[in-house]
Chain A
C-alpha cells in the first residue's frame, strides 16, 4: 500500500488544463463547463482551458503556473498520450515539477471524436477529468534511469550488408566484431559474376571491401563462427560465440594452397557448395581464391584423417608454416557489446518446391545462382556456358517469378529477379550467342538506371514473352522439339499459346528468409513478419530498427533487396548504432515493474510470463528479480503475481483504484 494516502486537508495542489484542440475537442465538448467543473474538485488549485495546449504558449502557461501557484500535480485533458505525453512531461520539468507527477487524459479520441451528442460528450469528459485528478494524487516522483552504453559493436553476417556496416562503424572509431557463419565473408555477392545495372564485376567491387575488413585495426573478423547465445539489454549485451574448427591455424596459414594440391585425393570429388554443386572440391579446400580470410579448411565429413585417423596427411606435410592442427577443437568466446547489427541475408527459393519446372529431374534446368557460377570466369566452367552433358545450348529460356508472387509458395515479389534475369540474359547471350527468351509477368525495374538497363536488353535481341510458363517438359510435338526442353506459355501480348523448345532453362528463383531465421531471431529476441523476414520497427519511418533496443537489421534479412539499397540500409543501421553509442547512455522509461522482496513468496509464476525475459529467479534468496532495464512495462507480471508483491511504476494499485473510483462517482 502506498505511504502518502492523502487526507482531505493534505491534498496535493493540482493544476488542471483542458485543451480545445482547435475545434477537434471544442466542437463536441463544452470545454468551459469542464474547466469550471474541475475547478470545483478537491485539491484543484488551478483550472484553465486553452486553444492549443501543446503549443509553446500553452506549455509556457503550464511551467509558469507551476512556479507561481506552487503546483504539485498536473493534469492535461487533451489528445492521446501517444502524441503529447512527452511534451507535457517536459513542460512540467521546465516548471520545476517532477515530470511523472503528470497525468494525461484523452478527451479527444475517447470522448469528442466518438460522440455525436454534445451533452454526453461533455459529461464523459468531466468523468475522465475527475478520474485523472483523483489518480494523479497518488503519483510518485520517478526518475528516468540512465544506463551506460558499451561502445563496442557486433555485426552478424559477413555479406555486403555486414561488411559495409562493419567498415562504417570501424571508420567511426568503434571496435567492431564481424561474425560470419561460412569460412569466408562475401555472402551471396561473392558468387555473382556481374551486377546490374552497371554490369560491374561483383568480385572487383566487393573484394577491396573484404580486404579492408581484414586489414582494419578496429575490426575483429570471426569467420566459420556462429552466435550461440545473447544475454543482456541495450548497451550491455553479452554474446556467446561458437567458433567451428577449421583444423588449420588461422594465424599461421597464408593461403598458398599447396596443401590442396598435395591432398591424397588426386581428383576433386566432393560437391562444391560455393559453386552450387556444379564444381567439385577436395576435403581440404578454400571457397574461392579471394576468400577472406585466405585460410584453407578441412571438411570433417569427407577428410579421411578426420573420419578414420588413418591418412598420411600429405597436406600437413606440404605446409611449410606447420599450420595444420587435426586436434583443433570448437572454441567458445564471449563478447561484450553495446549494439548489434543483424545482416544475415537471404536464402534462394528451393526450385524443387516447384516440381512442374523439372529442376532436379531434367539436367538442363538450372537455378539462377547456378548460372551465376557458370558465367563466372572463376567458376566451375571458367565462364563457358556448357550444359551438364557437355553440350552448348543454342536456345535458353529464363523463367521469372519462380517461387514468388504465388499463393502456393511465396506471396511476395522478390524485387531483384527481373533485374538479375535481364543481367543473366545479357551474360548468357554474350558468352554463348544462344537465343535467349525471358518469360515474365511484369517487368519490375524500379531503381536508378534500371529501366535503361531493360531498354538496353530490348535492343540486344533478347525475346521477351509476357506469360508465366506452366511447365518444362520433354514431350515433343514437332521434330524440332525432339530432344529439347519445351516451354508451353501463353504469349499474352501477342495473343497466342506458344511452344518454345530450348536446351537450357534458367529458373529465376526468389528470395526468402534464411532456413534458420526463426531460430536466429529468437536468439536475438527480435520479431519477424508473417513471411519470416526480420521485423522492422516501422516499415517507413524506422526500417533498420527493431522492437528490441540496441539491435538493428540491415539488408535482405529484413526483406528482398538489391545491392544499392542493401548498402544504404547497412549504412543506416551503422548510423543508428553510432547514435546509440555516441549518446553514451540510454534513458529508460520508468513505467517498469519491481518486486517488493519481503512480500515475494518465491512461487516463480512471473518468470515464464515475461515476454522480454526480464524476470529471473534468485536461487539463493528464493525471490524473483526484475531487470528494470529489460522491462518494457507491459504489466503482465504485476497482474499475475498471486502475492501482489510486484508493483509497476505509474500503475500502482492506489493509482488504478482511485482512477476507477473517480470515474464511478
Chain B
C-alpha cells in the first residue's frame, strides 16, 4: 500500500517526534509513504482570518500537486492540516464561485485542480485500513500496566466526522488497547486544548491546557496520548507556566504513533521519545 504524506509546518518543527514516529511505524508495517513534493503550508487557522479565497487556494495547491500522483491517498497527521485540506475540498465542491476563482488562480500557475484526492488521517489508516487484528501481529512488546488517556482534540472529529464518532470517538481507544495498555475513560476527550491561544493569550489558553492535564492525571492516566502536534505542544510545553499559575501536574504527552512504535519494539531513538519536554521515561519504565 502506498500513500502520499503531507507533513505540514509543525511536523517539521516542534512536532518533529510525530513525523519520526509516524514514518518509523509505517515503515515497520510495510506501508510505503512518500512526502508530497514541494508542499506548502496549509494555512491552518490563521490564514482563514486574513483572506478566505487565498486560504482555499493555498490548500488547493497542495491538493493539485497530490493529484499528479493519481489515486494515492494523502495522509495528513496534523489535525489542522487534516481539517483544512478536507474543508478545502468540500468548500470548493459546494461553492461554484469560489471554485471558479481558485481553480483559475491555480491554473495561472500551471496547477490543475480536480478535487479527487482523498485526505486521510494516519489513525484512520492504521485502524481501518490495516486493522487491529493485523496490527496485533506486529506488537512484540505490549505496554502492559500502562494507563493512557486518549486525547483527540477538536479538528479531527469536528466539524467533519469522517472516520469516527464526533462525541465519543474510539479509534485511538482501540489503538491503546491494541498495544496492550489500559485506556482511561474520561469526558474531556474532545475538549479544546486552547489551540494557538496558549501563545497569544496565555491567561486564557493556559487554563484550557491545565484543565486537560489535571483531569487526565486525576483519572489515573500515566500519560496523555494525542494525535495533534499543537495539542501535544500545548499539553507538554506549558506545564512550567501552568505550574506557576495554577499547580504542578507533571504528566507526559505522547503521540499515538510513539506508543504504537514502542509496542512494536522499535527503538526509542527512532520514535522521538526524548523530545517530550515532560519526560516520559518514568512512565515508560514500568513496561
CB of B273, distance to nearest CB on chain A (Å): 29
**Nearest CB to that of A486 among chain B residues?**
B187
* CB atoms of B167 and A475 under 8 A apart: no
Q: B159-195 interface mask toward A, CB cutoff 8 Å, 1 = contact, 0 = none?
A: 0000001011000000000000000001110000000
Question: What CA separation (Å) do A632 and B188 show in the bound complex?
Answer: 60
B188 & A356 in contact (Cβ 8 Å cutoff): no
A contact residues around B168 at 8 Å (CB): 355
Most chain A beta-carbon contacts within 10 A, residue among B165, B167, B186, B188: B167
Within 8 A of B (CB), among A51-102: none
Interface membership of B270, Cβ < 8 A: no
Q: Is B112 an interface residue when CB atoms closer than 8 A count as contact?
A: no
B20 within 8 A of A: no
Query: What's the Cα separation between A475 and B188 when bound, in Å?
Result: 8
Say yes or no: is A562 at the interface (Cβ < 8 Å to chain B).
no
The answer to whether B187 touches A473, judged by C-beta atoms less than 8 angstroms apart, is yes
Please, how many angstroms separate the alpha-carbon atoms of A579 and B277 in the complex? Answer: 83
Interface bin, chain A: under 10
Chain B residues with CB under 8 Å of A356's CB are 167
CB-based nearest A residue for B185: A361
Closest to A361 in B: B168
Task: Name the B residues within 8 Å of A477 (CB-CB).
Answer: 211
Let me know if A474 is at the binding interface, CB within 8 A.
yes
Q: How far is the CA of A474 from the CA of B187 in the complex (A)?
A: 7
Contact call B187/A355, Cβ cutoff below 8 A: no
Quote the shortest CB–CB distance from B201 to chain A (angstroms): 18
Using C-beta atoms within 8 Å of the partner chain, give the interface range for chain B: under 10
Within 8 A of B (CB), among A468-482: 471, 473-475, 477
By beta carbon, the residue of chain A nearest B188 is A475
Encode contact with B along A452-496: 1 for CB under 8 Å, 0 otherwise.
Answer: 000000000000000000010111010000000000000000000
**In the bound complex, CA of A473 to CA of B186 (Å):** 9
Q: How far is the CA of A477 from the CA of B208 in the complex (A)?
A: 12
Distance, CA A355 to CA B211, complexed state (A): 22
How far is B185's CA from A475's CA once the two chains are assembled, in angstroms?
11
Q: How far is the CB of A563 from chain B (nearest CB, A)?
A: 35
A356 to B186, CA, bound (A): 13
Chain B neighbourhood of A355, CB < 8 A: 165, 167-168
Chain A residues near B124: list those with CB within 8 A: none
- A14 CA to B144 CA in the complex, in Å? 99
User: For window 326-340 of chain A, which residues contact chain B by CB distance below 8 Å?
Assistant: none
How far does the alpha carbon of A477 sit from the alpha carbon of B186 in the complex, in Å? 14
Distance (whole angstroms) from the CB of A91 to the closest CB of chain B: 57
> When each residue 123-167 of chain B gets 1 if its CB lies under 8 Å from chain A and 0 otherwise, what string results?
000000000000000000000000000000000000000000101
Interchain CA distance A527-B165 in the complex, whole Å: 34
> In the complex the two chains form, what is the Cα distance from A497 to B168 in whole Å?
24
Closest to B219 in A: A475
| Bound-state Cα–Cα, A475 to B187, Å | 7
A355 and B167 alpha carbons, distance in the complex (Å): 7
Which residues of chain A come closer than 8 Å to B215, judged between CB atoms? 475
CA gap between A475 and B186 in the complex, in Å: 8
Q: By CB atoms of chain B within 10 A, which of A356, A475, A477 has the most?
A: A475
Chain B residue with minimal CB distance to A472?
B187
Q: How far is the CA of A475 from the CA of B168 in the complex (A)?
A: 15
Closest to B168 in A: A355
User: Which residue of chain B lies nearest to A357 when distances are taken between CB atoms in the complex?
Assistant: B167
A190 to B186, CA, bound (A): 39
How close is B240's CB to chain A, nearest CB, in angstroms?
22
Contact with B along A331-358 (1 / 0, CB 8 A): 0000000000000000000000001100
- B186: A residues at CB distance < 8 A: 475
Q: Which residues of B contact A475 (CB under 8 A)?
A: 186-188, 215
A475 to B190, CA, bound (A): 13
Minimum CB–CB distance from A480 to chain B (whole Å) comes to 16
Residues of A within 8 A of B165 (CB): 355
Question: How far apart are A215's CB and chain B's nearest CB, in angstroms?
Answer: 51
Docked complex Cα distance between A356 and B168 (Å)? 8
Q: Which residues of B contact A471 (CB under 8 A)?
A: 187
Nearest CB of chain A from residue B108's CB, rounded to whole Å: 39
How far is A355 from B169 in the complex, measured between Cα atoms in Å? Answer: 11
User: Which residue of B165, B186, B187, B211 has the most chain A CB atoms within 10 A of its CB atom?
Assistant: B187
Contacts of A473 in B (CB 8 A): 187
Chain A residues with Cβ below 8 Å from B167 are 355-356
Query: Closest residue to A475 on the B side, CB-wise?
Result: B187
For residue B211, which residues in chain A have a CB less than 8 angstroms away from its CB? 477
Collect the chain A residues with CB atoms within 8 Å of residue B187's CB: 471, 473-475
Note all chain B residues with C-beta closer than 8 A to A474: 187
Please give the distance in Å from A505's CB to the nearest CB on chain B.
14
Residue of B nearest to A473 (CB): B187
Who on chain B is nearest to A477 by CB?
B211
Task: Report the minimal beta-carbon distance from A631 to chain B, rounded to whole angstroms.
Answer: 46
CB of B120, distance to nearest CB on chain A (Å): 25
Chain A neighbourhood of B188, CB < 8 A: 475
What's the minimum C-beta distance from B82 to chain A, rounded to whole angstroms? 23
Contact with A along B209-227 (1 / 0, CB 8 A): 0010001000000000000
State A471–B167 Cα separation when bound (angstroms).
10
- A356–B190 Cα distance when bound, in Å, is 12
How far, in angstroms, from A475 to B149 measured CA to CA in the complex?
14
Interfacial residues of chain A within 356-375, with CB under 8 A of chain B in the complex: 356
How far is the CB of A240 from the nearest CB of chain B, in Å? 43
Chain A 609-653, CB within 8 Å of chain B: the 1/0 string? 000000000000000000000000000000000000000000000
Q: How far is the CB of B89 from chain A (nearest CB, A)?
A: 23
In the assembled complex, how far is the CB of residue B245 from the closest CB belonging to chain A, in whole angstroms?
A: 15
Q: B165's closest neighbor in chain A, by CB?
A: A355
Cα A355 to Cα B190 in complex, Å, equals 14
Min CB distance A362 to B, Å, is 9
Smallest distance from the beta carbon of B246 to chain A beta carbons, Å?
Answer: 12
User: CA A477 – CA B210 in complex, angstroms?
Assistant: 11
Q: Which residue of B lies closest to A356 (CB)?
A: B167
Provide the bound-state CA to CA distance between A543 and B165, in Å.
41
Rounded to whole Å, the gap between the CB of B237 and the closest CB of chain A is 23
Q: Residue on B with the closest CB to A474?
A: B187
Chain B residue with Cβ nearest A358: B187
> Closest approach, in angstroms, between the C-beta of B157 and any C-beta of chain A?
13
Give per-residue flags for A435-455: 1 if the beta carbon is below 8 A from chain B beta carbons, else 0: 000000000000000000000
Measured CB to CB, the closest approach of chain B to A364, in angstroms, equals 14
The answer for the CA separation of A251 and B165 in the assembled complex, in Å, is 53
Considering the chains assembled together, what is the distance between the CA atoms of A473 and B211 in angstroms? 14
CA distance A356 to B165 in the complex (A): 11
Q: How far is the CB of A547 from chain B (nearest CB, A)?
A: 37
Shortest CB–CB separation between residue A87 and chain B, in angstroms?
A: 52
Bits for B230-274, please: 1 = Cβ < 8 Å to A, else 0. Answer: 000000000000000000000000000000000000000000000
Which residues of B85-116 are within 8 A (CB) of A? none
In the assembled complex, the Cα of A399 lies from the Cα of B58 at a distance in Å of: 44
CA gap between A475 and B215 in the complex, in Å: 8
Query: What distance in Å separates the Cβ of B183 from its nearest Cβ neighbour in chain A?
Result: 15
Footprint of B on A, CB under 8 Å?
Answer: 355-356, 471, 473-475, 477
10 new A-B contacts, CB < 8 A, other than A355-B168, A471-B187, are: A355-B165, A355-B167, A356-B167, A473-B187, A474-B187, A475-B186, A475-B187, A475-B188, A475-B215, A477-B211
**What are some 8 contacts across the A-B interface (CB < 8 A)?**
A355-B165, A355-B167, A356-B167, A471-B187, A473-B187, A474-B187, A475-B188, A477-B211
6 A-B pairs with the lowest CB-CB distances in the bound complex, closest first = A473-B187, A355-B167, A475-B187, A356-B167, A475-B215, A475-B188
